[in-house]
Amino acid sequence: MKTKEEVLREHIDQASKKFDIPPYTDEKWAEFLTFKDTITMLAAMESYAAQFKEKAERWDKLYSSIEKIYFDENGNPRPHDDKSGGDLTNIGEIAAIHLGFL
């Protein structure tokens, strides 16, 4: 059976790998953390990661919507006088919709 410290170290190592952060090597910090603290910390990290992922996906979607105004379906820039993709009014409306104002 593993000790509390061994389980704690495993959880910290897993979190370090999952979030691509270097593991903390000084063992004295473990004296200040309980197993419950570690689980709470890991849950918070996963929650933050999910929130950041959701925000990133929303910003990517906004970028894609605005990109269609400046570039055609082949990825070529539209001429400045070509309004077939939209104009600044359309960009403002797209942004307002994606940000939840409309």
Q: Give the tens place of pLDDT for each residue, 32-85.
A: 666 677 777 778 888 888 888 988 999 999 999 999 888 888 888 888 777 777
**71 DSSP β-pair partners:** 77
- Cα 8 from Cα 30, distance rounded (Å): 8
pLDDT number for residue 14: 75
Helix (H, G, I), strand (E, B) or coil at 83: coil
Report how far apart, in Å, the C-alpha atoms of 93 and of each of 60, 62, 64, 102 are. Answer: 16, 11, 14, 8
Q: What backbone torsions phi and psi does residue 71 show, to the nearest 5 degrees?
A: -130, 145
